[in-house]
Structure 1
Amino acid sequence: MNSPPTFNLLHEPWIPVRPLNGDPVREVGLRDLILDARTYSRIDDPSPLVTVALLRLTLALLHRALRGPKNTEQAAEWFRNGFPTDTLVAYFQTWEDHFDLFHPEKPFWQVRDLTLDLEGGKYRSHWTRLGTEVGSANTLPLFNVAGRPGGDRSDALTPAQAARRLAEGQTFLLGGLIKRFTTAAKAAPVATFALTAAQGNDLHETLCLNLTVYGGQDSDRAVWEREPLTVQSVREFYEDELSEVPTGRADRYTWPSRSVLLIPEINKDGTVQVTSIGFAAGIPLEGAAEGSGSNIDPMVTLRPPADPKKPERFPLKLKREQLLWRDLSALLTGPEGEQQGSYPPSTLTHARELLAAVSASQGTSVTVTGLLSDQGKAFAYRQESYAFPHAFISDPEEFTNDVNRALEAARTVGQGLSSATLRLAVEVVSRGGEREPHKDDVRQLAQTLPGVGAYWAALEAPFRVFLAALDRQGEAAAAWRESVAREARAAWALNLQGVGGDGQVLGFAFRPRSVDNKKPISPQGILDRALTTLNAAQRPDVTAPEVPS
């Protein structure tokens, strides 16, 4: 008779890491991950969602085991000399049983009695409910290529794969209909937010850079330190219409956003697999998911509302239509521009202060990861990386000002290009003023012209070069201005080709014409005026022309 399966996450290999020596990616347990972190370059799962979820879990474990760092000085000590091994080992021994994925009384991050025969088996689901991008109920058909959850799928997970999907699901599952304990379950605390993490030269440095100063450690608790959840304890939240506030950082990082029970199956050869799971709503989170005060999620950026009368900040999310570099100011602190009223991610602020404390001679790189959704459906995930120079550490305010000025220059020229494109569409549709154009025809033509989209797409690579070169501020700024001007002119040439590019069209583009007794200016003239901002202190008027009604 087979004994009940066990899979202890402290010791069993399940977290994929890339060794520094160039060896292939391999899997390690949480204990080895932390104690040998200097031998690995990073956690490296094919899914960036899994990678970030595993990083957050590891940070929660370090916070609880070390009850710190209490300040930047202690963080710097750990950065230089390593974590206190004796303290970590003692903590691992104390909580070892709570990290067993299949423990009969306290299965890790699960609800122990959510069995498949409970209430006629209505809690049964396929493991894909845990994988946001591999077939959950909130996944669009593009990702869900192998069938709907609960269908005829028979593929199974190894315990290591199941543990990774469990961490991903608890971190990123979207809200929606569930009909298990409640009609609609809330999303995981950071399901769709842009999560920022600093990257070190090895995994140990990465952990230290993101292990922000830890307060309130006496009241905080991670999921393995909670009383084991039961069906009754979770159900009471919904019956009594209750919710919980995270007790601290580790509680937020390991929030049980879903009630899950992995059902192990023992094969004939003795190996264990997971096909079916128990699945239901988790503990409802009170208030805004990103938190407030000292309970703000360290990886989340909070932005000021568009309406100044509304005091609530909102979390930064990755956008479907543009990459984050165009909004990079949101991650930075400083006196100018986008920083007014923003709350940057404390992971990045802490990383900068820590690198300054250890007198780092180089900059750092930053990753921003997020799940993109529309009306409760996941359609993409994205991870973007940016290299910050040493100026980010040595002179953060000037670094922020340089980034703000560069982005403002690109936006101003981009607005000029958009206005010129719209004026060109007016001229083409009206045939130089011979007839009254319909506004829908003008907008449709302007939207089909490729210039504006090509302009922003072409500037991504030059911006990365500019960012990495800001230790030589003058050279970087001059090169950036050249790139903006070059790509704007190239984009304008694409627009001219898009409307025909013949002599008549060129006449429409270059011939000034007054409209409604306004100062005459040609489409080309609008762009030229915007380009003058690259070397001028004053920003000229590059507002778009009115579209005929």
Structure 2
Amino acid sequence: MTGFDLISRPWIPVTRGGRRVEVSLLDALVEGQEIDGLALDNPLEAVAVLRQVLLPAVLDALGAPRDDEEWSRRWEAGQFNAELVLAYLREHADRFDLFHPTAPFAQVAGLRTAKDETKPISLLVPRLATGNNVPLFSARIENDPPALTPAGAARALLAAHCWDTAAIKTGAVGDPRVKAGKTTGNPTGPLGQLGVVVPVGATLFHTLMLNTPVIPQGLRPVDRPQWRAAPAGPDWRERGALGLLDLLTWQSRRVRLLTDADGTAPGGVTVRRVVLSAGDRLNASAHDLEPHTAWRQAERPRADEPPVRAVRHQPGRSAWRGLEALLATSIPTSDRVTAPTLLSQLARLREDGYVPEDLPLHVLTVGVRYGTQSAVVDDVMVDEIPLPVVALAADSAVRDTVLAVAHQAERLRVAANRLGDDLRAAAGAEKVPWDRGQRLGDVLVHSFTPTVRRLLAGLARSPDKAEQAEWEWRVVARRLAWEVAEPVLSTAAPSTFLGRDPDARYGPRLAVAEASFRRALNDVLGTVTTDAA
């Protein structure tokens, strides 16, 4: 078996000089200031690489900053201490071999089932067909699995630890909890239960720093990443996380990659088959450790419920529509949501002057919607938006503008939906069910997205123009609202002019629906006028 050293072999997809390339773990850490960022061809894998390898390696090698000043000194240095990083990776080099005979990276050596069954490698890749998980537009079937390179297999392996589906898993020899060759009750991977929010900087170094939490008491003495723990066996435990490093590198599955000799592939091997079984389960909330999600406080939690729950992303909902939660860095929102820890920390760093007000900042949001009993992946929700760092401050004019835009857009969505309902009522039809079809408000909000992105990017560059930005938004929002409304008004059936009950003085009819929509626009946007109106 040929080894594949993750420290020195290229396997991490990044953008460098405007080109997509793959770099080694060592290069990613010591040359991060020269790398634009992680390439997001597969955001599930990108987040997994960040959380499972890059961030914990930095934290374990350098330690967590104890205060904001220490964090700032690292930020101002502009790069990580190459000597410390290199020494650390050399010390643990044998644990970063993907195909090590006794301790393969993030796997279990010799893992097997009682019948020596294997699965196609597509089991680790949600976008490919396997078992009941058959994506609608998959070009492959389960009997035709891809042959992943070692680099691709490493990324898929990490993504499985983060996002794998739940339900029944094949039982492994040596696991005492196996019954009838299976284990049941498996939860999804830990990130599958979160709405992941990742701050992204101008370079990979900046991104890693923005994801580095300040921990006044330091990392817990018992804490360690998975590569400093004893090699895992087929048995697993239900336990709490030992600390942040343990949580970031959580081994939610027991996996073994099976290689095929291939002289044309990097490393001389490809991976087509895999053994995957149950892994460790978190039995306690990681609210005090988890930095990458917003949290909602339960109003009246039952004794068997956690007091806080992770906020998950909603399918079809752009990230900018959740700006209120992202900006809840000082006080919770009206529905008791607080921002992710890293954004709250960044708000404090900006307030104390440790980062500039024109800091190039984006926020990447990633989530998974699972299907039947969480055993299949129905959807992967991904979005990335620019975010003015000054908007994180509680008393910022930019924050007020950004929140006003988000609130106004939501009110306009409701108004557009009401217009559609009123026109259907005038024609004698029933309302469109909220969970079926495309409603008029959804079309309107979708048309807002490019404008809101430009507004956020503009405020990041020129935070002093918040008032002008809001005025321009109102003008554009009104124009877009009429661009969506006018086609349905002009093509309404003739019967809507008098409505289904012509004798009713205030019954539903076209003129009433249009007047109601016009009033709603004025209520939300004021009296700003455009030619379109």
- Normalising by structure 2, we get a TM-score of 0.85
Counterpart amino acid of residue 141 in structure 2: G
- Counterparts of 1:55-454 in structure 2 under 5 Å? 55-56=50-51, 57-81=53-77, 82-115=79-112, 118-122=113-117, 124-137=118-131, 139-148=133-142, 152-153=143-144, 155-180=146-171, 181=178, 182-214=183-215, 215-231=218-234, 233-234=235-236, 237=237, 243-267=238-262, 271-288=268-285, 291-292=286-287, 294-295=288-289, 297-305=290-298, 312-333=307-328, 338=333, 341-354=336-349, 356-375=353-372, 376=374, 377-392=376-391, 397-429=396-428, 441-444=429-432, 451-454=440-443
RMSD over aligned CA atoms reads 3.1
Match of residue 480 from structure 1 = 473
> CA–CA distance in 1 between the matches of 2:318 and 2:422?
27
**In the alignment, which residue of structure 2 is the partner of 1:436?**
none
Match of 1:26 in 2: 21
Structure 2 CA distance for partners of 1:190 and 1:13, relative to 1, 3 Å: same
Task: State how far apart, in whole Å, the 2-side matches of 1:153 and 1:87 are.
Answer: 44
Q: CA deviation at 1:197?
A: 1.5
- Separation (CA, whole Å) in 1 of partners of 2:281 and 2:393: 43
Q: Please give the per-residue CA displacement for 1:159-199, whole angstroms capped at 9, x wherever unaligned.
A: 11111111111111121222424124221101253221222
CA shift, 1:418, in A, is 2.4
Q: 1:8 to 1:452 in 2, by over 3 A?
A: same
> CA 1:223 to 1:52, structure 2 compared with 1: closer, same or farther past 3 Å?
same
CA distance in 1, matches of 2:382, 2:271: 29
Of 299-308 and 58-67, more deviation after overlay is shown by: 299-308
C-alpha separation in 1, matches of 2:137 and 2:314: 19
In 1, the alpha carbon distance for the partners of 2:454 and 2:410 equals 18
Distance, in Å, in 2 between the alignment partners of 1:283 and 1:363 is: 38
Q: TM-score, normalised by structure 1?
A: 0.82
Counterpart-to-counterpart distance in 2, 1:155 and 1:442: 48
Q: Secondary structure at the match of 1:114?
A: coil
State the distance in 2 between where 1:139 and 1:190 align.
19
Pairing of 1:462-541 with structure 2 (within 5 A): 462-470=451-459, 471=463, 472-500=465-493, 502=494, 505-508=496-499, 522-534=512-524
- Larger CA Rg, structure 1 vs 2: 1
Moved more, 76-85 or 486-495: 486-495
2:32 counterpart of 1:37: yes
| 1:128 to partner: Cα distance | 1.3
**Aligned partners of 1:333 and 1:397 also within 8 Å:** no
Secondary structure of 1:522's counterpart equals helix
**Residues 173 and 311 (structure 1), Cα distance of their counterparts in 2 relative to 1, 3 Å cut:** closer
2:444 aligned residue:
455
> Compared with structure 1, are the counterparts of its residues 322 and 283 closer, same or farther at alpha carbon in structure 2 (3 Å cutoff)?
same
Identity of aligned residues (%): 23
Greater shift in the superposed pair: 304-313 or 487-496: 304-313
Unaligned runs of 5+ in 2: 172-177, 528-533
| Equivalent AA in structure 2 for residue 523 of structure 1 | A
Structure 2 letter corresponding to 1:78:
R
Aligned to 1:443, the other structure's residue is in SS state coil
> Deviations for 1:242-288, whole angstroms, at most 9, x for unmatched residues?
x1111111211111111101122334678122222221111122134
Call closer, same or farther: CA 1:172–1:63 in 2, change over 3 Å: same
Tell me the number of residue pairs that the alignment of Structure 1 and Structure 2 aligns: 498
Q: Tell me how far 1:454 sits from its aligned partner.
A: 2.1
Contact preservation (8 Å) 1:298, 1:345: yes
Consecutive unaligned residues of structure 1, counting only runs of 5 or more, are 238-242, 430-440, 538-549
- SS of the residue aligned with 2:158? helix
8 Å contact from structure 1 (residues 403, 467) kept in 2: yes
What SS does the corresponding residue of 1:287 show, helix, strand or coil?
Answer: coil
Deviation at 1:394, TM superposition (A): 6.4
Matches of 1:208 and 1:420 in 2, distance apart?
A: 47
Taking the aligned partners of 2:9 and 2:270, their CA distance within structure 1 comes to 15
How far 1:314 moved relative to its partner?
2.8
Task: Tell me the distance in 2 between the aligned counterparts of 1:473 and 1:307.
Answer: 38
